[in-house]
Amino acid sequence: MSEANPLQPSNAAPGGGSDRLFERSGAADFRFDRATAAVFDDMIQRSVPWYGEIQRMTGEIAADFAQPGTRLFDLGCATGNTLLQLDPVLDTAVGFVGVDNSADMLAQARGKLQRLQSGRDIELMEADLHGAGVVENASVAVMLLTLQFIRPLQREKVIRRVQEGLNDQGCLILIEKLIFADGLFNRLFIRYYYELKRRRGYSESEIAHKREALENVLVPYRPEENRQLLQDAGFRHVEEFFRWYNFCGLVAVK
C-alpha cells in the first residue's frame, strides 16, 4: 500500500497557502494564529503521516457510535477538516459541534462548512478546553492531535470532563504524537518522522525551526500514559486502532 497519495481527505476544501512559516530562524513559540490558519491545511497534510487514512478511520469508528438525536464534538477542530470528512458518513440527525480556542482557525472552518449541503445542525464554538466542560449529549468526541497541546497538569481534568459529557456507550477518538521511555526507539522514530517531512518538501532549517517553536508547546506522552489517562477518567474500554512510529490513535468507550 503506497503512502504517497492517500493522505489528503477526498472532500477537503482546496486552496490555502503553502506552509513556509519556519523558513527563517528566530521563530516565536508555535501559535494557532492567522498566519498558521492560512497554511494549516498544507501543514497538516505534509506533517501528519497517513492523515487521510486517520480521517477515514475516524469516520468509520464514529459512524458505529454516533446516535441520532445526539451530538459529535470535534475538540480542537482547527479548520474543520474532520467535520468535513465526517459529514457524508454520519446520519444527518447527529449534530456537529466544532470547538477551538483560535478565532482564526474557526474562521477558516466556518468558510468551509458553509458550503455543505447536508442540512446538518453544525455549531462552531470558540472555547478553551482548560475551562468549563463543553461536551454534553454526545455520542462521539474527537480529539485529533489536540490533547498534546493541553498543559499536562490540565489533561486529566479535560479528559474527565469529556468522559462525563459523553452518553453511555459513547466514544472518544484520540490521535496523539508519542514519546517513548526507550531512548533507542525514541531516537529512531523521530528520525523516521523527520525523513517523512523531508520527503514532503520541508528543508532541514524548516524542520529545526519548527521543532524549536513547538518545544514546551507540544508535550507528547508515552503510550502507556495516554492509556492510563483514559482509564483513570472512567472509560471502560480503551484500544489502540492506529500506529505509525511516534503517532497513535486510541478509541475509548464509556
Q: How much of the chain is in helix, strand and coil states, percent to nearest 5?
A: 40, 20, 40
pLDDT value at 92 more than 50 = yes
Q: Is this model's pTM higher than 0.75 or not?
A: yes
Between 211 and 1, where is the model more confident?
211
How far is CA 205 from its chain centroid?
A: 25
Domain locations along the chain: 67-178+220-253
Buried-state track 175-205, b at ≥16 Cβ within 10 A, e below 16: bbbbbbeeeeeeeebeeebeebbeeeebeee
The Cβ of residue 65 has, within 10 Å, a number of other Cβ atoms equal to: 24
**Band of pLDDT at residue 65, cut at 50, 70 and 90:** very high
Q: Which fold has domain 67-178+220-253?
A: Rossmann fold (3.40.50)
Q: What angle do CA 175, 254, 68 make, to 5 degrees?
A: 90
Residues ≥6 apart with Cβ < 8 Å to 6: 50, 52, 53
pLDDT digits (tens, 9 = 90+) for 14-42: 446 786 666 666 566 788 888 888 888 89
Identify the weakest region by mean pLDDT among 58-67, 84-93, 213-222.
Answer: 213-222
Distance CA 112, CA 119 (A): 14
pLDDT digits (tens, 9 = 90+) for 76-86: 999 999 999 99
Phi-psi region of 185 (alpha: psi -120 to 50; beta: other; left: phi over 0): alpha
Look over the chain and give the mean of its residue pLDDT values, rounded to a whole number: 89
pLDDT digits (tens, 9 = 90+) for 225-249: 999 999 999 999 999 999 999 999 9
Distance CA 72, CA 94 (A): 7
Query: What are 247's strand-pairing partners?
Result: 177, 244
